[in-house]
Structure 1
């Protein structure tokens, strides 16, 4: 199937034409519409924002676009990173290409000209698109930068939300960072579009507790790969992040890289890929708890494999080794050497250790929520799985409302948590893959915007009612008709004359 709209190839002209097309389409769709949310101010005159989003990466951008497309303009988006460095794409993500198929619409929000494909073809042409296999990771970041620019999404960079507290029915956000224009803001709704570690932190196993930090790093950290040239490196794990970091070390000239893998076999099948559909996206959140748990627990247990290209990127090196069935019993150091005893009693020595152990979901790690983080209702509080389906990891996920909001563990302790939306990886157990992964991100953003709009309208219903009563702009001016007096008997039938034939 071919697109009818083909921007002229050539970076400048093509992107200019594409931007013009986007502006035209937005105008045709009346997007964004005028703001409909009544302004709120405190008794001291401080302006109250309708929404604040933290995270200016893919999730935050499409969430911001969705809110504006719904007529919610009184919002701000903060990101702690410098402009152009939002999200993982140029930081700890180290794969060569994205896993997702290039054809997925991603954050396009139902608009063809906003897709990666339209952006790519505008610069390189249709033939180059057909020849493209997977999307190069840095190119995806270039696309997101363009997406933000062409839509005029107002992200404020180098601003961090340090603390969230309730205040007068609103949320007070304490800000820090060189980009912060003020020390705090008030908002009605708070959206955590914080990506993979949005409700947790990097998973750091206890076995590195006694190891000097100079001898190890987590895959999410900055790693000086050139310094690993000629060194022996051990990577813990076999997931995508572990494999990508292994490849980086090998390409930097590491003497050898050994994967220590607790699993007995290499995971080879992405089970979620096999059931992806509009039905799954729409229906997962409506399933009873036992089915939602079953789907997610099975996905976790079978593990998503590293992409084929990433794995080959490692295995093509003769000095790369995959050791299965070798969990970690203990780790220590002897001078500058890392020593590991595996679960099978073997000893391995190396110069550096990389933890490819992913992220853990742990709402208690969200320091900005303070003690209230402990009041977030978790799946482990609500559901006890049958034997064989236990998962400590899944039990730690927040048990969310259908509108992405947190629930209280103890009713009345922290009711203001319902004004916080978990629009990140932490929502996947409750609502599915609609708040972090490329395939369902636009659908998730649409749900989020609908939910926030509905709640804002309900909270302001008396003002909207009064607005209806006060509205007095006439559509008819009085010159469209003539008033006439009704006569008595008007419309009475008049008898028709009768005629006789032949007489």
Structure 2
């Protein structure tokens, strides 16, 4: 038997086991949400925007809870959703291989089960971390084996407040635009889901042929023999620097603002089910303390990512070197830091993402009404933090809240299940470790809303239900057979 044939056989056996597990648990639950039609158009109960990991596990949870009438839309071609085979450039995931991620508590749905089914237990024990592209293979399999309702190459152009308290989505598919009606919409749109990449203003007047953000589509082959600069000390900065070196960059200068590379992963260090389920219950000032401390300490890059760079003699680490100026001189750039001036041909900014509704035209109608943390909470003294201040202030089901109560009621039907939800709910919506717990919280909130909204229909169904369990032939009425004295 060939390796590929053995892999196929192993996956088939795993899929059979998963099917049996689901049957034993009576999953998915029966469909229960009443169909709704408005002006002859079927209404979708939940539309999920984004078919990356967060969107898939949300879909899985909704299906598990009997909400069959939902859709997952993604603008990318099938197999290219999320960052894994697009702008992610690490060799392996940063998370430990044992994390169960989107498995929803089902052992046969874990990455470990997927890996061992193809390569065996010994290979799993020898594996350090999940290879990045194999994680994408796992998500493709996850989508297939759960039969999730994903539609690719569909972009959501605008979301509006629609008729009868619904949301109307203008979508583009196959070059044509049409409208969907939905009761709820979930934004499972990743790190940049409420904005886009952040680059410093010094790039404003510099042609983009000289620079890129680490999340851009970069032609690394073009950097062969070039002088390349990278800004940042995070994982994405390191991975882009390493990719440039491996593509043949003649020189790599890594500019790091801090006097040292961060070394301790604070939030992971205290990771527990207490943090997962308890963070949302913290008073506001304590949420702020935890995340302000974590963000200012900064997450260290993985050790293998740093070693990928230092393995190259032409790589140069510059600590305590914030970029203070960037200028074009002839056919190249000059980077200025407090320590000197450096000629470079191309610069990559590993500077993260920002909340900026101006970059999300699909949210234009709702953006002025979305309440941010800065709208109602003053940062404690000494803890000013622009990232936290710009985070959306969310309800229990990840729904947006209004700046002015009553000004935009439809906003409560729009749910933020992406990275900026961290300030309200903790790290449940952007990373692997607790993504199932986050999706479970979201899906249960949606189920509650759907049931309450349809209470009249459910009550009518209750009154109309007339299937007897007792037929009347199970007993004899003793008094009916005895004469009355």
Same fold judged by TM-score > 0.5?
A: yes
Q: 1:52 aligns with which of 44, 47, 67?
A: 47
**2:9 corresponds to which residue?**
13
Q: Is the 8 A contact 1:215 1:336 kept in 2?
A: no
Q: Is the 8 A contact 1:59 1:193 kept in 2?
A: yes
CA distance in structure 2 between the partners assigned to 1:426 and 1:211 by the alignment: 29
Structure 1 position 345, deviation (Å)? 6.3
**1:200 corresponds to which residue?**
195
Structure 1 position 10, deviation (Å)? 2.1
Give secondary structure in 2 for the equivalent of 1:325: coil
**2:32 corresponds to which residue?**
36
1:343-358 correspondence to structure 2 within 5 Å = 344=338, 346-358=340-352
**1:436 corresponds to which residue?**
430
CA distance in structure 2 between the partners assigned to 1:64 and 1:138 by the alignment: 22
1:247-280 deviation digits (Å, cap 9, x = unpaired): 0000111011101111121111110111100000
1:72-471 correspondence to structure 2 within 5 Å = 72-168=67-163, 169-178=165-174, 183-342=178-337, 344=338, 346-471=340-465
Structure 1 position 362, deviation (Å)? 2.9
Structure 1 position 374, deviation (Å)? 2.1
CA distance in structure 1 between the partners assigned to 2:81 and 2:483 by the alignment: 79
Give secondary structure in 2 for the equivalent of 1:52: strand
**C-alpha spacing 1:111/1:179, structure 2 compared with 1 (3 Å):** farther
Q: Is the 8 A contact 1:200 1:366 kept in 2?
A: yes
1:413-468 deviation digits (Å, cap 9, x = unpaired): 22211101101101111100111211100111111110000000000111111110
Structure 1 position 12, deviation (Å)? 1.1
Q: 2:21 aligns with which of 8, 25, 46?
A: 25
Give secondary structure in 1 for the equivalent of 2:475: coil
Structure 1 position 326, deviation (Å)? 1.4
CA distance in structure 2 between the partners assigned to 1:337 and 1:196 by the alignment: 31
Q: Is the 8 A contact 2:89 2:240 kept in 1?
A: yes
- Show structure 2 runs of 5+ residues with no match: none
1:199-229 deviation digits (Å, cap 9, x = unpaired): 2210121011111111111110111111111
Q: Is the 8 A contact 1:189 1:419 kept in 2?
A: yes
Q: Is the 8 A contact 2:196 2:355 kept in 1?
A: yes
1:44-76 deviation digits (Å, cap 9, x = unpaired): 211111000011111011000000100001111
Equivalent residues, number: 480
Q: Is the 8 A contact 2:70 2:149 kept in 1?
A: no
CA distance in structure 1 between the partners assigned to 2:339 and 2:100 by the alignment: 49
Q: Is the 8 A contact 2:186 2:415 kept in 1?
A: yes
CA distance in structure 2 between the partners assigned to 1:13 and 1:427 by the alignment: 40
Give secondary structure in 2 for the equivalent of 1:408: coil
Q: Is the 8 A contact 1:378 1:395 kept in 2?
A: yes
TM-score, scaled relative to structure 2: 0.96
Structure 1 position 231, deviation (Å)? 0.6
The structure number with the bigger radius of gyration is 1
Give secondary structure in 2 for the equivalent of 1:117: helix
Q: Is the 8 A contact 1:161 1:368 kept in 2?
A: yes
- Show structure 1 runs of 5+ residues with no match: 1-7, 491-503
Q: Is the 8 A contact 2:357 2:364 kept in 1?
A: no
TM-score, scaled relative to structure 1: 0.93
| RMSD (Å) for aligned C-alpha atoms | 1.6
CA distance in structure 1 between the partners assigned to 2:407 and 2:439 by the alignment: 29
Q: Is the 8 A contact 1:232 1:255 kept in 2?
A: yes
Give secondary structure in 2 for the equivalent of 1:409: coil
CA distance in structure 2 between the partners assigned to 1:201 and 1:439 by the alignment: 23
Structure 1 position 179, deviation (Å)? 8.0
Q: Is the 8 A contact 2:160 2:365 kept in 1?
A: no
Give secondary structure in 2 for the equivalent of 1:304: coil
Give secondary structure in 2 for the equivalent of 1:332: strand
CA distance in structure 2 between the partners assigned to 1:277 and 1:440 by the alignment: 10
323-332 or 167-176, larger mean C-alpha shift: 323-332
Q: Is the 8 A contact 1:161 1:176 kept in 2?
A: yes
Structure 1 position 178, deviation (Å)? 2.2
CA distance in structure 2 between the partners assigned to 1:177 and 1:358 by the alignment: 30
CA distance in structure 2 between the partners assigned to 1:216 and 1:272 by the alignment: 32
CA distance in structure 2 between the partners assigned to 1:83 and 1:457 by the alignment: 33
CA distance in structure 2 between the partners assigned to 1:372 and 1:51 by the alignment: 18
